[in-house]
Amino acid sequence: MENKRYSRQSILPQIGNAGQEKIQSLRVLVLGCGALGSGCAELLARAGVGFLRIVDRDVVELSNLQRQHLFDETDVIECRPKARAAAERLRKINSSITIEEKILDIHAGNIESLLENIDAVIDGMDRLEMRYLLNDACVKKNVPWFYGAVQGISSVWMTVVPHKGPCLRCVFPEAPAPGSLPTCDMSGVWGAAVSVSAAMEVTQLLRYFVGDITEATSNFVLTKMNLWTGEMTRIPVVRDEDCPCCGRGFFSFLDGPRDLVNPLCGHGAIQISPSRERFLNLPDLAKRIDSMADSVTLREDLLEIKKGELRILLFPSGRAIVYGERDPLRAKIWVEKYVG
């Protein structure tokens, strides 16, 4: 039965029977199970990857259904965790593979354990800062990872093979300041662009393990494709021998302090203090997120954001106080929707 399942794939000269056996032996970690992550997970499951570990902290929302193929309206109504809903769908798609779901927030304290007994990582995350953390962990553990992103109507992808090619910090040495880049809530997401990024992440991963590794690691490029115009940009990237991460072995995102999330006694609120010193341009941020909330008010020393029963006070240092949300993780997610 399994031979029949993969017959259209194994007949490809790039795959063959030996390649299919290799695919079925792979153990892949999918970090984030939103649009990109769920799309990649489905492609990997259908291809026959033998073990998938899916990690996500969020629940399915109505706005997800425009681009996240594994979920439906029932998941929204039942407020189902994405990792759980995705795992159950994937088991129905391919019952012969092993799927392990983890409903948790990814941070410096758990990312290395998530990499245990893993051959490769699919990036399905929606925050660039988290990719720097992933990059640190993968370089330290010598695990290849496959970067993908969507910027409006454009798809972006790149392969990171530690010590054989450039890491993320070779290409983008420093993480952008919080709030300086638009989130998908601000700029929108074209569903077809998600599908292209997911397809390329999965293709690059399987090509690396099934094809000629020398060929796969000889030329590293950062690729961006505008789906609206069809224009594609390929930027050659090279390893920086003086890179703080892969060159000098400093894992500042992995070893650095973590965000503090604490309930405020007597206030019915949750305070989120950033792990690193930040400076938010509150007037600029207020303009950018104005359409995302019921009201955005710039006060003398803070930005006040209201959305339904939710009220967020955001300070220039990046510290936030969230009223109307008792779950610390959900409070953190709300802040990230606005700050990035």
Q: Which residues are known catalytic residues? A: 184
Distance CA 171, CA 246 (A): 12
Residue whose tokens read 């390893």: 239
Look up residue 218 and give its two tokens. 């000889």
- Give the amino acid at 170: C
Q: How far is CA 209 from the centre of its chain?
A: 22
Instruction: Name which of 21, 69, 61 is nearest 41 in CA terms.
Output: 69
Look up residue 162 and give its two tokens. 């530690």
262: which residues sit within 8 A by CB, 6+ positions away? Answer: 270, 271, 273, 328
1: which residues sit within 8 A by CB, 6+ positions away? Answer: none
Which long-range contacts link 72-81 to residues 24+ away (Cβ below 8 Å)?
81/56
Helix boundaries (H) for 266-320 = 282-289
Contact (Cβ atoms closer than 8 angstroms) between residue 305 and residue 293: yes
